[in-house]
Amino acid sequence: MRVEKALLEGKTEELLLTETSSQPVSKKKRRRQKKSSSSSQMPNTVMRLFRACKDVFSTSNPGIVPSQEDLDRIKSILDRMKLADLNLSPQMPYFKQASVPNGKSPITYLHVYECSKFSIGIFCLPPSSAIPLHNHPGMTVLSKILYGTMHIKSYDWVDVPDESSNVTADPNLTHRQTPEVRLAKAKTDANFTSSCGASILYPTTGGNIHCFTAVTACVVLDVLGPPYSDSEGRHCTYYNVFPYENFSDEANESVVSDGEEYAWLEAKGKPEDFVVNGDLYTGPRLAGH
């Protein structure tokens, strides 16, 4: 989602601070400190995720999908990640349903890291909140639900013959005919929980266009490779959805399959009622980055 840049403005770089003591200590205490120091030098889960992402995405280019082996390396770390690894808990205020005029509670975004090659971020959704249907142009995205139950609906674009590009709309929808209306095939339409493994979507497959709806309060961690970039043409586009039957064109019949769900997606701007508030990430730091 195109929120990372705005949330980063005005923030200063945060560094990992290590406390030291100049007071003399006993042998027993030194042994305990040595053991503790040895344990603390082990990379935390967030640091392992960062290093894996850096290894996998540092040499990749937009639209080029890393090898499945590399993606599985990141996925295996995400699959083991818990709320506590990020210093989050279900009792935090992010997950309370607020009383707002339009009935939609704001979503909270916690920025972990971003560079030109990849980004790591956390979305905290109160019950019934939603991230509207949007795309990920030229991007590979790994998402892991860390808490709660979330409904995911996703689509992939369908390649249609050139002669079918000018669709004939239902008379009631003629005002919606624009070059921005495209045919898409549903990929996912189901509920997922924190017990589910991380999902992977690709530039052209895997449900690249998706929306999230919080069935309960939930947390999802996203890894985007590369992240959105207006300057590089990776804009976040949102969509209206129309049933397949609302637009008719004989040429489309050659690309649709029985038993599959299709829809027409119309590009639009960011919904006014989609509110994302940024807050400070307080989990483990990425030392030296």
User: What would the pLDDT profile of 205-250 be if each residue is shown by its tens digit?
Assistant: 999 999 999 999 999 999 999 999 999 999 999 999 999 988 766 6
Instruction: Please tell me which of 22-36, 91-105, 126-140, 148-162 the model is most confident about, judged by mean pLDDT.
Output: 126-140
Pairing of strands 276-279, 107-114: parallel
Q: Which residues on neighbouring strands pair with residue 234, listed in sequence order?
A: 229
pLDDT of residue 10: 40
**Residues of the chain with pLDDT > 90: what percent?**
63
pLDDT of residue 98: 66
| Cis amide prior to 226 (ω within 30 degrees) | yes
Per-residue pLDDT averaged across 179-191, rounded?
91
The string over 52-63, giving b where at least 16 C-beta atoms fall within 10 Å of a residue's C-beta and e elsewhere, is bbeebbeebebe
* CB contact set of 157 (below 8 Å; sequence gap of 6+): 182, 183, 184, 185, 204, 208, 209
pLDDT of residue 51: 96
Q: Where are the domains of the chain?
A: 43-96+105-272
Asked if residue 278 has pLDDT above 90, the reply is yes
User: What would the pLDDT profile of 195-214 be if each residue is shown by its tens digit?
Assistant: 999 999 999 999 999 999 99
Pick the more confident residue, 288 or 157: 157
d(CA 279, CA 216): 21
pLDDT category of residue 42 using cuts at 50, 70 and 90: low
What superfamily would CATH give domain 43-96+105-272? Jelly Rolls (2.60.120.10)
User: What would the pLDDT profile of 49-78 be if each residue is shown by its tens digit?
Assistant: 999 999 999 988 888 999 999 999 999 999
pLDDT of residue 256: 82
d(CA 133, CA 159): 20
Distance of alpha carbon 110 from its chain centroid, rounded?
12
pLDDT of residue 48: 97
Ramachandran region, residue 256 (left: φ > 0; alpha: ψ -120 to 50; beta: rest): beta
